[in-house]
Amino acid sequence: MIYFDNSATTKPFKEVLDSYVKVSSEYFGNPSSLHSMGIQAEKLLSQARLQVANLLEVKPSEIYFTSGGTESNNLAIKGTALFHKNRGRHIIVSSVEHPSVRGAMKQLNREGFEITYLPVDSSGRVHVEDVKRAIRNDTILVSVMQVNNEVGTIQPIKEIGEVVKEHTSAIFHVDAVQALAKVPLQLYNHHVDLCSFSGHKFHGLKGTGGLFIRNGVKLDPIFSGGNQEWKMRSGTENVAGAVAMAKALRMTMEKTNTGVEQMNKLMSLLRTGLSRIEDVTFNTPLENVAPHILNFSIPGIKAEVMIHALEQKNIFLSTTSACSSKQKSPSKTLLAMGVPERVADSAFRISLSYENSVEEAGTVITAIEEAVKQLRKVMK
């Protein structure tokens, strides 16, 4: 099997699974319980929090465990809106965000919040000047993802953070789900107030994630209950998941230097090989792009048909983001970039992990070339 859909989810490391099973079976106490088993669980949770904080170079008190990127994005966005609605109701967001962000914005718009959607250029990048023009006195939140989940474009987070802090008291949220452990982000130096991440994107488990909340930043919780996670995220903590995620993040970040170098090598091979296909168009830019995502189109080839043809050869890649792949409409990200609908309709996404090899890349190139030839013969 060749798995090239790592932006949708990654395969958990064996050591991560082992740690999850061990904690679940031997340290299953509720961390809110006062007896020794609860105290053991609470200690493991605190150790996981400290490990994640150290890896992100922030304080443990700024790490809040959640169920994943979607919850973290919703907590960051809705929590900010609810707490600061009396100060202002204007929010700025890019036009190429993840569905969890777009959906939250739609809900807030129905509640009377005004949303400004920043345009992107043909490479999918926000211009800092557009952020500056959009900021108003009543702006309470600016939300921009660090790495686009469909085309891999890296946004100018540091520059946007500087503009936000210089021109407004708004909170700056960054969705780093696709970036963490692949693209550097200095949360303090880049003036980030809130940052979302998800464990299953770096070889952790689904249902695990976190939100960095800079000390002093105020949010309203969106879950009511037992006031866990310093009253910010009620619900019995997933101790085993948090421990497993901390281990996954550590293991992935230990491989970052060699892993990124390997990904860049594979991406060069893939671009060169796929460019031999007639009419192929690369939607992922050459500059300001993450090392693991390559989006390309083959006009006239139905994306869904191609995906299933490759699956017959035990090769797995995707069309758009996993959260949007079952929708029949073209990618909103590609359309926002100015990609013609016909081209956007035939878009594919290859997404790598540090585990992928040169041999796999060569096999995938050949398989795509063969599939295109066969499909074009059928279409004639």
Which residues are catalytically annotated? Answer: 323
Q: What amino acid occupies position 290?
A: A
User: What is the DSSP-derived secondary structure letter of residue 2?
Assistant: E
Q: Find out whether 249 and 52 touch, Cβ atoms under 8 Å.
A: yes
Spatial strand order of the sheet with 293-297 comes to 281-282, 293-297, 347-351
* CA-closest candidate to residue 69, choices 176, 193, 197: 197
Phi/psi for 122 (5° steps) reads -65, -15
Residue 141: in which H helix or E strand, if any? Answer: strand 139-143
Structure tokens at 359: 């041999």
**Phi and psi (nearest 5°) for 273?**
-70, -45
What Cα–Cα distance (Å) separates residue 167 from each residue in 90, 153, 157, 170? 14, 25, 15, 9
Q: Which residue intervals of the chain are DSSP H helices? A: 14-26, 36-56, 69-84, 99-110, 128-134, 157-167, 239-254, 256-274, 303-311, 332-336, 341-344, 358-379
Nearest to 297 by CA among 262, 331, 265: 331
